[in-house]
């Protein structure tokens, strides 16, 4: 936790002190090559080795587990074929204002199209944690994939500082899961959870996914992403 806190303090300091030198630093750095795609999966990158998971969950994918009508709690699972495919919704202005959302393909039925997306659900708990849902309804505004001048990494952001993944031994969802939540600061990360970064891995949306969904006013924008997050050799990039 100390290292995580220290790194973010340094980052915050850099951003506040000199945005120009930060962007110069980025373009001079040795970063893995990024592409741009219409859609992406989110891959967990654990910077600090942790002992709370066996097997390790590094490079696992964000997905949802059904917890109620139109509601899916965010979890990690190991295989690409079960990874959720997301896209960024918002106008160019929304991108500049970090007011986009991380959306899921709309669900179509005879009665019309229902939006779906990543939603933040604050709840009463001693740590001020926020649940993450892959739910029916528009995704929460204020989430996206960091790009451009703000970060050299194609990584997911929300209004909360940390994504965390928790070893929940309680069978909260029918059986134990690797639950993914949000934490406002390092102090609020519980013992059974670790901070995790989500990197975007390029994906494709199903053909015709937005046909007949005009009423939802979807503005799909391209997202920075990596071809294969699991193949990145971090020893070349730190």
Ligand X SMILES: *[C@@H]1O[C@H](CO)[C@@H](O)[C@H](O)[C@H]1NC(C)=O
- Where do contacts with ligand X occur on this chain (CB under 6 A)? 45, 47, 53-54, 58, 89-91, 94, 101, 103, 115, 138-139, 153, 167, 169, 197, 216-219, 234, 238
**Minimum Å distance from CB 187 to ligand X?**
20
For the CB of residue 162, give the shortest distance to ligand X in the complex, in Å. 12
The distance of closest approach from Cβ of residue 135 to ligand X in the complex, given in angstroms and rounded to an integer, is 12
Residue with Cβ nearer ligand X (28 or 124): 28
Identify whether 55 is preceded by a cis peptide bond (ω within 30 of 0).
yes
Whole-number minimum distance, CB 147 to ligand X, in Å? Answer: 13
> Closest CB to ligand X among 95 and 129?
95
Contact, 197 vs 163, CB < 8 A? yes
Q: Which is nearer to ligand X, 17 or 107 (CB)?
A: 107
Contact criterion met (CB below 8 Å) for 84 and 103? no
Minimal distance in Å, beta carbon 127 to ligand X?
A: 18
Please report which residue ranges of the chain form alpha helices under DSSP H. Answer: 2-17, 19-28, 92-96
Q: Are 145 and 157 in contact (CB under 8 A)?
A: yes
Identity of the residue, 124 or 233, whose beta carbon is nearer to ligand X in the bound complex? 233
Min dist CB 141 to ligand X, Å, is: 8
Write the CB contacts of 4 (distance below 8 Å, at least 6 apart in sequence). Answer: 47, 48, 162, 186, 195
The whole-angstrom distance between residue 73's C-alpha and the CA centroid of its chain comes to: 14
CA distances from 193 to 171, 183, 189 (A): 16, 10, 6
For ligand X, give the closer residue by CB, 58 or 124.
58
Q: Which is nearer to ligand X, 102 or 129 (CB)?
A: 102
Smallest distance, ligand X to C-beta of residue 44, A: 9
Residues 76 and 57 sit within 8 Å (Cβ to Cβ): yes
CA 172, chain centre distance (Å): 22
Under 8 Å CB-to-CB from 55, ≥6 apart: which residues?
none
Q: What is the DSSP letter of 59?
A: T
Name beta bridge partners: 134: 118
Nearer to ligand X, 37 or 116 (CB): 116
């Amino acid at each position: 936790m100390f290292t995580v806190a220290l790194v973010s303090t340094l980052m915050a300091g850099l951003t506040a002190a000199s945005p120009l030198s930060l962007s110069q630093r980025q373009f001079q750095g040795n970063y893995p090559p990024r592409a741009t795609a219409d859609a992406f999966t989110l891959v967990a990158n654990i910077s600090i080795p942790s002992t709370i998971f066996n097997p390790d969950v590094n490079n696992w994918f964000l997905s949802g587990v059904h917890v109620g009508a139109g509601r899916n709690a965010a979890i990690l699972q190991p295989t690409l074929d079960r990874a959720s495919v997301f896209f960024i919704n918002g106008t160019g202005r929304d991108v500049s204002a970090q007011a986009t959302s991380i959306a899921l393909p709309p669900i179509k039925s005879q009665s019309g199209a229902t939006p779906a997306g990543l939603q933040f659900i604050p709840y009463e708990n001693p740590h001020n944690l926020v649940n993450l849902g892959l739910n029916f309804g528009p995704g929460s505004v204020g989430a996206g994939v960091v790009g451009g001048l703000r970060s050299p990494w194609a990584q997911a952001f929300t209004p909360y500082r940390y994504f965390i993944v928790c070893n929940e031994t309680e069978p909260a969802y029918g059986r134990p899961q690797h639950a993914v939540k949000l934490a406002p600061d390092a102090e609020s990360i519980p013992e059974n959870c670790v901070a995790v970064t989500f990197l975007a891995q390029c994906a494709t949306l199903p053909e015709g996914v937005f046909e007949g969904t005009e009423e939802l006013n979807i503005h799909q924008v391209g997202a920075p992403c990596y071809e294969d997050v699991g193949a990145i050799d971090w020893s070349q990039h730190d």
